[in-house]
Chains A and B, each alone.
Chain A
Amino acid sequence: MAFSLGGILAVLLETFRPLLPFFIGLVAVDVLATAYGLHRGSFGHAKARRWALIIGVAAMVVAFVSGPMLTQSTFADFSRIIDWVLLAGMSLGVGVAGFILSLPLASLLK
Chain B
Amino acid sequence: MSQQSKSTRINPGRRKFLQASGLGLAATAGGGVLTSPSSHAAVQTSAHIVIVGAGAAGLDAANRLSRELNGAKITIIDSRVEHIYQPGLTLVATGIWKPQKVMDQNARYMPDGVDWIQARVAEFDPSANAVVTDAGQRINYDYLMVTTGLQVNYDAVEGMSPDLIGQMGIGCVYDKPDYAARTWAMIDQYTDQGGVGLFTRAQGPVKCAGAPLKVTMLTEDLFERKGTRDRGEMYYTPPGQKLFSQPDINEFLKEELPSRGITLQWDHPLVGIEPELKRATFATPNGNERIDYDFIHVVPPMQSPEPLANSELAWQSGSFAAGHWMEVDQYTLQHPRFTNVFGSGDCVGTPIGKTAASVKAQVPVAVSNLVSSIANREFAARYTGYTSCPLVTRKGEAILVEFDYALDMVPSFPFINPHEKHWFPWMLKDRMLHSAYNAMLRGRV
Contact = CB atoms under 8 A, between A and B. Distances in A.
Nearest to A20: B21
Contact of A71 (B34, B417, B427, B435): B427
Nearest to B413: A3
B25 A10 contact: no
A30 B126 CA distance: 57
A5 B96 CA distance: 31
Given A13-B25, A68-B423, A73 B396 contact: yes
A11 B396 contact: no
B426 A73 contact: yes
A1 B96 contact: no
Nearest to B27: A9
Interface string A80-92: 1011001000000
B416 A72 contact: no
Interface of B is mostly: helix
B22 A13 contact: yes
B1 interface: no
A17 B439 CA distance: 11
Contacts of B438: 14, 17
A70 interface: yes
Contact of A78 (B34, B361, B423): B423
B88 to A, nearest CB: 13
A1 B291 CA distance: 43
A83 B424 contact: yes
Interface string A1-44: 11111110111111111001101100100000000000000000
Contact of B422 (A2, A23, A82): A82
A93 to B, nearest CB: 11
Contacts, number: 121
Interface of A is mostly: helix
How many B residues touch the partner, as a band?
35 or more
Contacts of A10: 26, 34, 439, 442, 444-445
B410 A24 contact: no
B445 A15 contact: no
A23 B423 contact: no
A102 to B, nearest CB: 16
B354 interface: no
Interface string B339-364: 00000000000000000010011000
Interface in A38-78: 67-68, 70-74, 76-78
13 contacts: A6-B444, A10-B444, A11-B435, A13-B25, A13-B439, A15-B435, A16-B25, A20-B22, A71-B431, A72-B430, A79-B420, A79-B421, A80-B422
Interface of A: 1-7, 9-17, 20-21, 23-24, 27, 67-68, 70-74, 76-80, 82-83, 86
